[in-house]
Chains A and B, each alone.
Chain A
Amino acid sequence: MKESGMSLIVKRITRITVSLIFMFGVYILLHGHLTPGGGFAGGVIIALSFIHLVLAFGKETAFKRLDQVGASIAESFGGLMFLGIALLGVFAGKEFFLNVLPKGTPFDLFSSGIIILCNIAIFIKVGAGLFAIFVALAIMRIPVDDPGREDGR
């Protein structure tokens, strides 16, 4: 297989840092209701870890983990999950976005009802969305002559 991406040093370091960045993103996500951060910040950090992979290893290696179709599906799934959580209140016969789950003890990791679930949904959506935007900006090209129509006009 032809070597792609940057030099060996960058690849070696990236292999170590990517997992750390990934874990930091998950930490920010899971403590969203306790400390600054949350789904959006965590999602951005996760997307950065994937972008890091693309930069260091070239797109082929990175796309084995998450390609554009996967990112698109994950993004839609994140949106649906958020909407579904919000609809739980309606299914319970009350208001949209009602916090239906038990709230737990404040400042515990598993507390605050639906907020942590909302954060997870935002995390999936933002992470996949930002990665998809990066892919669209960096890799996709629209040929100037292709009108994008099937009838070729």
Chain B
Amino acid sequence: MVVFFVVIPLLAAFLIPLVSKMREGSARVLAVLSGSLLLLLSIAGIFMIKNGSIVYSLGGWRPPFGICMVLDGLSVLFLLVINLIGFIALLYSWDYIKRYSSQGLYYTLFCLMLAGLNGVAVSGDLFNLYVFLEITSIASYALVAFGTQAEELEAAFKYMVLGSVASAFILLAIGILFGSVSTLNMADIARSLAGSESRKLILFCLGLFTMGFSLKAGLVPFHTWLPDAHPAAPAPVSAMLSGVVIKVIGIYALIRLVFNIFIFTPAISQIFIWMGIISMSVGVLLAIGQWDFKRLLAYHSISQIGYVIFGIGLGTPLGIIGGLFHLFNHSVFKSLLFLNAGSLEYATGTRKLQEINGSGRAMPFTSVSSLVASLSIAGVPPLCGFWSKLIIIIAAFQAGNIIGGITCILVGMVTLASFLKVQKYAFSKQAGDIVSKIKEVPLTMAAAMSVLALFCVLIGLFFVPFLDQLIRPATNVLLEGANYVNLILGG
């Protein structure tokens, strides 16, 4: 079953160019169909791993000789993030993307991106992980440039150059590792490295991986492409990029490697913690002065990814729970905010907060869902963002990291200020005379936003069962790092 996470979107991606030549509208039907199948499959995945993780060998070749796919707690969490946000973004695209020409191309690229993301999340082979990572990256470069205006092409070019640098570093590290241990199966690499004496080689590879994946994740100081690339894309793609792509090809790949292949040492912990603290503070300080709604959100993504990597970097069970929980929550509310920004742009034709000027009032779905998302990201109880930030802050103080804990609190306050500004200018300010000309967005867009807003509230209210069902299995995979080898190679 595991392989269908990759097969379904690939099938859709190759079928769409064929069918969309016959009927333009069939592309979106196919894409939404594959998105909903993937969502159902990822929900089924939660129950499939109840009796232990699943290892799937491609072509019947057992690992370490063949390529394998692994479905464990961490993969299931990320698959759910990918396919939930992917489905919502496809639903939102249904009406939104009608403004652009060549819809078939859009849905093809979107499905390829989903295939790549799902592949990264289930892959048990280091080179396969790299291939899927490149599929995701190349599809997202093209999607950022989809509007083909000067600004979008420039952003996509910048994204492509820096993304290729990151990929080159990752490929170099994979090459060095392969040269040293002669295997590409992740579990087999972990087993070989555990008995290896070459500390310098491991450190060098780890440095290359950290740099490459941090660039993909947009952590400070590797963040410069992110505030250009994320706002330039069409809104559903921005939601995918900020909500999912930076997490899966950045954070997921990094923590899978660090926790399950290498060993999580105090030195790595310090690197993660400080990258987290710097990303948090720099991201939010750059965000507060922005007037472009989507650019402001992009800077907040850097800041919130800082929370995630800080929480995971603490290395304590509570810290990892907080980090992963915040990762899930961030994907929900940040996607929602990007969809809100897309709706405002759809209705008013601008992303500048001063020009929107209270006209969001005429759009009830957009304004209510954006209020929920803003309060969530700012960490106002009882919405989902509050609990995850609280867990991270408690974990920081428990681990004795006073500076980090205080930074988390301060950054949370600045975030709140920043989103109060958004709410004031976009929604609650006395509306100008353009308000009579705008109307609420079409039904599918409103539905997509409402579902995500509902998720923000529901996860906030029922966070305990959510943590038990989804976050704890994922945390256990990271904490029992060496168990990964026994799982795949059969101990």
Contact pattern, B 1-44, Cβ under 8 Å of A = 1, otherwise 0: 00100010011011101100100000000000000000000000
Q: Is B10's CB under 8 angstroms from A79's CB?
A: yes
Q: Is B10's CB under 8 angstroms from A147's CB?
A: no
List of B residues within 8 angstroms of A79 by Cβ: 10, 13-14
Q: Is A63 an interface residue (CB 8 A)?
A: no
CA distance in complex: A76, B27 (Å): 14
Q: Is B149's CB under 8 angstroms from A69's CB?
A: no
Q: Is A73's CB under 8 angstroms from B17's CB?
A: yes
Q: Is B57 an interface residue (CB 8 A)?
A: yes
| Given A79-B10, A96-B7, A96-B58, A149 contacting B147 (CB threshold 8 A) | yes
Residue numbers of A with Cβ under 8 A of B are: 69, 72-73, 75-77, 79-80, 83, 86-87, 89-90, 94-99, 142, 144, 147-151, 153
Nearest 6 Cβ contacts at the A-B interface: A97-B59, A79-B14, A148-B148, A96-B3, A76-B17, A95-B60
CA distance in complex: A72, B60 (Å): 33
Contact pattern, B 81-92, Cβ under 8 Å of A = 1, otherwise 0: 000000000000
Separation in Å of the B145 CB from the closest CB of chain A? 10
| Given A149-B147, A150-B99, A153-B349, A83 contacting B11 (CB threshold 8 A) | yes
CA distance in complex: A18, B437 (Å): 61
List of B residues within 8 angstroms of A95 by Cβ: 56-60
Kindly identify which residue among B13, B18, B101, B147 contacts A77, using a CB–CB cutoff of 8 Å. B18
Q: Which of A77, A90, A96 has the most CB of B within 10 A?
A: A96
Separation in Å of the A131 CB from the closest CB of chain B? 15
Q: Is A97's CB under 8 angstroms from B58's CB?
A: yes
Kindly identify which residue among B3, B17, B98, B147 contacts A147, using a CB–CB cutoff of 8 Å. B147
Q: Which of A76, A89, A151 has the most CB of B within 10 A?
A: A76
Contact pattern, B 328-355, Cβ under 8 Å of A = 1, otherwise 0: 0000000000000000000001000000
Separation in Å of the A15 CB from the closest CB of chain B? 32
| Given A95-B57, A96-B3, A83 contacting B99 (CB threshold 8 A) | no
CA distance in complex: A73, B14 (Å): 9
Q: Is B21's CB under 8 angstroms from A69's CB?
A: yes
Q: Is B100's CB under 8 angstroms from A98's CB?
A: no
List of A residues within 8 angstroms of B10 by Cβ: 79, 83
Q: Is B18's CB under 8 angstroms from A83's CB?
A: no
Given contacts A76-B18, A150-B98, 17 further A-B contacts (CB under 8 A): A75-B17, A76-B14, A79-B14, A80-B11, A80-B14, A83-B11, A86-B7, A89-B60, A95-B58, A95-B59, A97-B58, A99-B59, A144-B150, A148-B148, A149-B147, A150-B100, A153-B349
Separation in Å of the A55 CB from the closest CB of chain B? 27
Q: Is A149's CB under 8 angstroms from B7's CB?
A: no
| Given A94-B60, A98-B59, A142-B148, A149 contacting B15 (CB threshold 8 A) | no
- Closest B residue to A144 by CB, please name it: B150
Separation in Å of the A106 CB from the closest CB of chain B? 18
List of A residues within 8 angstroms of B349 by Cβ: 153
Separation in Å of the A114 CB from the closest CB of chain B? 9
CA distance in complex: A99, B61 (Å): 11
Q: List 13 A-B contacts (CB under 8 A).
A: A73-B21, A79-B10, A80-B15, A83-B7, A87-B7, A94-B60, A96-B3, A96-B7, A147-B148, A147-B149, A148-B148, A149-B147, A151-B99
List of B residues within 8 angstroms of A147 by Cβ: 147-149
List of B residues within 8 angstroms of A77 by Cβ: 18
Among B79-127, those with CB < 8 Å from A are: 98-101
List of B residues within 8 angstroms of A151 by Cβ: 99
| Given A83-B7, A95-B59, A98-B60, A148 contacting B101 (CB threshold 8 A) | yes
CA distance in complex: A89, B148 (Å): 41
Among B47-61, those with CB < 8 Å from A are: 56-60
